[in-house]
Amino acid sequence: MRIGLYVSGAAHLALILWALLGGIFFTPEPAAAPIATNVSLMSSAEFAELEGRKPTAAEESPPQPSAPEASVAPPAKPKPETKPEQQPAPDVTPPEPEQPPEVEETQVAEAEVTDAPPEETTAPTPDSLSQIPDQPTEKPQPKAAEIVAPNPSPDTPPETTTSDTVTEATTAEPAPEATPEPPTEEAAPKDTGEVLLTEDNKDKKPETAAPATSPRPQKKPEKKPEEPKPAPVETAEATPEAPADEPSVNADDAVAAALGEALSGEASEEPKPGTGAADQGPPLTSGEKDALIVAVKQCWNVGSLSTDALSTIVTVSVSMGQDGKPDSGSIRMIGVEGGTDASAQQAFEAGRRAIIRCAKNGYALPPEKYEQWKEIEITFDPNKMRLR
Partner 1 sequence: MRLSGGLKGMMSAALLGAVCWAAPATAEPLRITIEDGVIEPLPFAAPTFIDEGGAGDIARAMTDVIAADLQGTGLFAQIPAGAFISQVTSFDAPVSYADWKAINAQALIVGAVSNSGGRINVKFNLHDVFSDTTLGDGLQFGGGEGDWRRIAHKVADQIYSRITGEGPYFDSRVVFVSESGPKDARQKQLAIMDYDGANVQYLTDASAIVLAPRFSAAGDRILYTSFETGFPRIKLMDLATLQSRAIADLQGNMTFAPRFSPDGDTVVFSLENGGNTDLYAMSLSSGQTTQLTNAPSIETAPSFSPDGSQIAFESDRSGNQQIYIMPVSGGEPVRVSSGEGRYSTPVWSPRGDLVAFTKQNGGRFHIGVMRTDGSEERLLTASYLDEGPTWAPNGRVIMFTRESPGAAGSAQLYSVDISGRALRQVPTVGAASDPAWSPLLP
Which residues in 231-270 contact partner 1 (CB under 8 A)? 235, 239-240, 242-243, 247-251, 254-255, 257-259, 261-263, 265-266, 270
Identity of the residue, 144 or 354, whose beta carbon is nearer to partner 1 in the bound complex:
354
Number of amino acids touching partner 1 (CB under 8 A): 109
Site residues (CB under 8 A) for partner 1, limited to 199-218: 199-201, 208, 212, 215-216
Output the smallest distance, CB 355 to partner 1, in A.
9
Q: Select from 319, 325, 291 the least CA-distant residue to 376.
A: 319
**What own/partner pairs with CB < 8 Å and gap ≥ 24 does 304-307 have?**
304/350, 305/346, 305/347, 305/350, 305/382, 306/343, 306/346, 307/386
CA distance linking residue 288 with residue 302, whole number of Å: 24
With CB under 8 A as the contact rule, which of the stretches 27-35, 149-157, 162-170, 192-200 interacts with partner 1?
192-200
Quote the least distance from Cβ 178 to partner 1, whole Å: 17
Closest approach, Cβ 198 to partner 1, in A, equals: 4
Contact set for partner 1, span 2-41 (CB under 8 A): none
Q: How far is the CB of 102 from partner 1 (least distance, A)?
A: 18
With H, G, I as helix, E, B as strand and everything else as coil, classify residue 326.
Answer: strand
Listing DSSP states for 87-101 in one string gives THHHHHTTHHHHHHH
Tell me the C-alpha distance between 6 and 12, whole Å: 10
Contacts with 350 (C-beta within 8 Å, 6 or more apart), sequence order = 300, 301, 302, 304, 305, 309, 380
Does residue 361 bind partner 1 (CB under 8 A)?
no
Nearest to 297 by CA among 197, 196, 182, 218: 182
Q: Which stretch binds partner 1 (CB under 8 A): 18-26, 43-51, 66-74, 279-287?
A: 279-287
- Looking at beta carbons only, is 155 or 381 nearer to partner 1? 381
Residues in 316-345 at the binding interface with partner 1, rule: CB under 8 A: 317, 328, 342-343, 345
Burial (0-12, 13-18, 19+ Cβ within 10 Å), 217:
exposed
Regarding 380 and contact with partner 1 (CB under 8 A), the answer is yes
Mask 44-73, x = binds partner 1 (CB under 8 A)? ------------------------------
Q: Which long-range contacts (CB under 8 A, 24 or more apart) does 241-249 make?
A: none
State in angstroms the smallest separation of the CB of 169 from partner 1. Answer: 25
Contacts of 10 (CB under 8 A, 6+ apart): none
SS3 call for 378: strand
Nearer to partner 1, 65 or 117 (CB): 117
- What's the closest the beta carbon of residue 295 comes to partner 1, in angstroms? 10
The verdict on 43 binding partner 1 (CB under 8 A) reads no
**Contacts of residue 210, Cβ cutoff 8 Å, sequence gap at least 6:** 180
219 binds partner 1 (CB under 8 A): yes
292 binds partner 1 (CB under 8 A): yes
Segment lying near partner 1 (by CB under 8 A), choices 17-25, 35-43, 60-68, 180-188: 180-188
Q: Which of residues 76-135 bind partner 1 (CB under 8 A)?
A: 110, 112-113, 115-117, 119-120, 122-124, 126-127, 130
When the beta carbons of 168 and 349 are compared against partner 1, the nearer one is 349
Alpha carbon distance 361, 169 (integer Å):
27
Pick between residue 15 and residue 196 the one whose CB is nearest to partner 1: 196
Cβ nearer to partner 1, comparing 266 with 368: 266
Among 136, 305, 324, 326, binds partner 1 (CB under 8 A): 305
Specify the DSSP element, H or E, that contains 73. Answer: helix 73-76
Closest CA to 326 of 299, 345, 303, 347: 299
Q: Rule CB under 8 A: is residue 274 a binding residue for partner 1?
A: no
